[in-house]
Amino acid sequence: MSDVVLDIQSLTKTVEKNKSIVEDVSFQVKKGEILGLLGPNGAGKTTTIRMIVGLIKKSAGTVWIHGHDMDEHGKSCNEQIGAIVENPAFYDYMTGWKNLQQHARMASQPVSSTRMEEIVQLVQLDDAIYDKVKKYSLGMKQRLGVAQALLHQPALLILDEPTNGLDPKGIRELRDYLRNLAEDGISTLVSSHLLSEMQLMCDRVVIMENGRLIDETVIGELNNAERAKPNAVAFHIDSKQKKQAKTVAGTLADVEILDGEHDDTLLLHVRAEQIPAVNKQFVESGIDVYAIEHKKTSLEEKFLSLTAEDETMQTREVQ
Ligand SMILES: Nc1ncnc2c1ncn2[C@@H]1O[C@H](COP(=O)(O)OP(=O)(O)OP(=O)(O)O)[C@@H](O)[C@H]1O
Ligand SMILES: [Mg+2]
């Protein structure tokens, strides 16, 4: 069997007056891969996902699951997908476990209690699974939703903006369990408008803007490129030492001073791998460094430059 789990080709959604809100979108998700669908608000992410899971009709294009055309094999294809698109609905007055049981009854295959226990563990709800859902935090509800989506052992999990409303701890946990799923061979398609998050969570991202795919990036390559390529890095120092810090930075090879920042930061263009050496130089020269901050990641720079180009084009069209 091919290792492509989801294959979408030229997916298009046209609404009234022949306006395309998603146009000619094609990408694949491989076995065990976490693919990010990244784009600003209104880019067409939810529309794309809703077409894939059959919540709305596509105007054109094809969706294959494991090489089977979804139009012809809808039922068997859907059985291989677990998705949270809108907020998952729960019975608030029932426990998490009862909710899962209720959901399991609707699955096409029987779901064993062992399977349910495994999933509860995976989404780290063990401590709260016998509490009523009305006591759950947003993050816990979101995890219960993922547990529901995983009950029937899908090959592909689809999550639309799953980190919305989660705190940093919740986001990190989500990242961890998606990674665990990937190691078990389960693929994930996850949408977000948060670049830094996608960079940490995904193996690859496709970038969407105005209904179209505008770029595709492999995160591993990007992270390597990031280490090799200079980035804007802010060194937070005492404002009284700013002048001295500038002099020290000026003596370092391959370090460009990008100033115009606040008095208590010195902004430098350096490669990530140079940061320890630059910091050491500051410390040895008696300059206290309070924090070191990456101003922009490569993905952010790329994303912003891609979308900025588009905006210029639009402005030109309007004028
Ligand atoms: N049924 C519809 N009729 C007309 N326009 C629509 C319809 N559904 C969505 N749109 C428009 O299509 C565009 C894409 O919407 P979509 O919800 O897919 O974006 P998104 O990338 O998910 O955005 P967000 O980050 O805000 O969730 C938006 O401009 C939206 O207003
Ligand atoms: Mg959306």
3-class SS string, 62-105:
EEEECCEECCCCHHHHHCCEEEECCCCCCCCCCEHHHHHHHHHH
Q: What's the confidence (pLDDT) of residue 295?
A: 74
* Domains along the sequence of the chain with CATH: 4-224 (3.40.50.300), 230-319 (3.30.70.980)
Name the residue of 13, 17, 21, 84 to mutate for ligand 1: max ligand atoms within 8 A of Cβ: 21
Q: What is the mean pLDDT of the chain?
A: 86
Mean pLDDT within 142-146 = 89
Name the residue of 14, 46, 205 to mutate for ligand 1: max ligand atoms within 8 A of Cβ: 46
Q: What's the confidence (pLDDT) of residue 319?
A: 33
For the chain, what percent of residues have pLDDT higher than 90?
A: 47
Residue, of 254 and 311, whose pLDDT is higher = 254
Q: How confident is the model at residue 314 (pLDDT cuts 50, 70, 90)?
A: very low
Residues 59-88: pLDDT tens digits? 999 999 999 999 999 888 888 999 988 777
Cα(164)–Cα(172) distance, rounded to whole angstroms? 13
In the predicted model, is pLDDT for residue 297 greater than 80?
A: no
What value, to the nearest 5°, has the Cα angle with vertex 149 and ends 148 and 151?
Answer: 65
Q: Does the CB atom of residue 21 touch ligand 1 within 6 A?
A: yes
Q: What's the confidence (pLDDT) of residue 310?
A: 47
Name the residue of 22, 45, 52, 206 to mutate for ligand 1: max ligand atoms within 8 A of Cβ: 45
Q: Does the CB atom of residue 41 touch ligand 1 within 6 A?
A: yes
Q: Which ligand has the shortest distance to the CA of 193?
A: 1
Point out the least confidently predicted range of 47-51, 86-90, 152-156, 253-257.
Answer: 86-90
Q: Which residue puts its alpha carbon closest to atom 24 of ligand 1?
A: 41
Residues 194-231: pLDDT tens digits? 887 888 889 999 999 999 998 777 766 666 666 666 77
Q: Does the CB atom of residue 47 touch ligand 1 within 6 A?
A: yes
